[in-house]
Amino acid sequence: MASGQERVLRRRIKSVQSTKKITKAMELISASRIAKAQERVAAARPYSERITDVIRNLAAAGAGGDSPLLNPRSDVTTVAYVVVAADRGLAGGYNSSVIRAAERAMAADQEAGRKTALITVGKKATGYFRFRGWEIAESFIGFSDAPGYEDARAVAGYVAERFESGEYSEVHLAYTQFLSMGTQVAQVAQYMPLDTTSLEDAEATGPTADYEFEPSPTEILDRLLPRYAEARLYAALLDSAASEHAARQRAMKSATENAEEMIIKLSRVMNRARQDAITTEIMEIVGGAEALRQSQTGGSDLLVDQVSTDDVFASHHLTTHRTDHFSSGEQS
């Protein structure tokens, strides 16, 4: 029994060691990808800042009054949610946190009597909502860990087309904001209509420089607002990608540490089982030797007893023979 238990424990230790190698490799890969994701966020920031400055100056020049991307709807009937999650798991609570935040927001809108539409980014979000019976208007997959600008353009174009046509009254964006290696926050922010706070401030303060616009500021703004929407979504995708790698790196590090602890515990149990097996074998050897010694000692005593019995029988036979002989002599 002990030997069988030792084999089982040895097999489990090898399995945990193999898992530890995988989790350690995934931890290192995620750590390297975090740095790349942060570099991409830093590289995309100047474009976002520049296009924001241009839009502010256009708004300060009086443009944007009639743009559907800037004007809130008086009657909100349908609210669309763009949920950004990962294509893969093993990232701790990264996927569940943003999905639950979006689910709570959609439930609140439905309780308020508004319809909701769902656009998912990432296989995990698509699988979660599809399994629970949510109707998904469109899903985008295959680029969660390394999104490109064309991916953001595809998602933003799909949403903007339906928002401008009036199918969606509002669009909210559920994603994970990357603050630091140890802090990522899932949040739901308004995406369309675009935030006009900075534009109102620009109108109040006036343009930062004297610009001459050709064509008109309104026409330029109408062309730039879709690019601005794409830039905002692209920044959210990059934040989510960095958050995904950070969450996976922490999860894999924790899994590696747990594997090491399990290997230590299983090794102790296996050593104890091995000691029990050795003790059992020693006891069996000692018991066998004792039985053998007793059998050898018992055989000698039996031989002595047999010899004594034969002697007694022979003596008795001789005595009987002599008595018979004496009796026959007297009769003669």
CA distances from 250 to 119, 244, 253 (A): 28, 10, 5
Give the per-residue pLDDT at 294: 85
For residues 117 and 225, the model is more confident at 117
Tell me the pTM. Answer: 0.76
β-pairing, 170-178 vs 184-192, is: antiparallel
For residues 144 and 306, the model is more confident at 144
Mean pLDDT rounded to a whole number for the chain: 82
Say which amino acid occupies 38: Q
Residue 132 CB-density burial (10 A; 0-12 exposed, 13-18 middle, 19+ buried) = exposed
Residue 198 CB-density burial (10 A; 0-12 exposed, 13-18 middle, 19+ buried) = middle
Give the per-residue pLDDT at 264: 95
Is the pLDDT confidence value at 297 over 90? Answer: no
**How do residues 249-280 score in pLDDT, each as one tens digit?**
999 999 999 999 999 999 999 888 888 888 88
Most confident of 5-9, 80-84, 215-219, 286-290: 80-84
Is the pLDDT confidence value at 49 over 60? Answer: yes
Distance CA(228)–CA(194), nearest Å, equals 9
Once rounded to an integer, what is the mean pLDDT over residues 272-296?
85
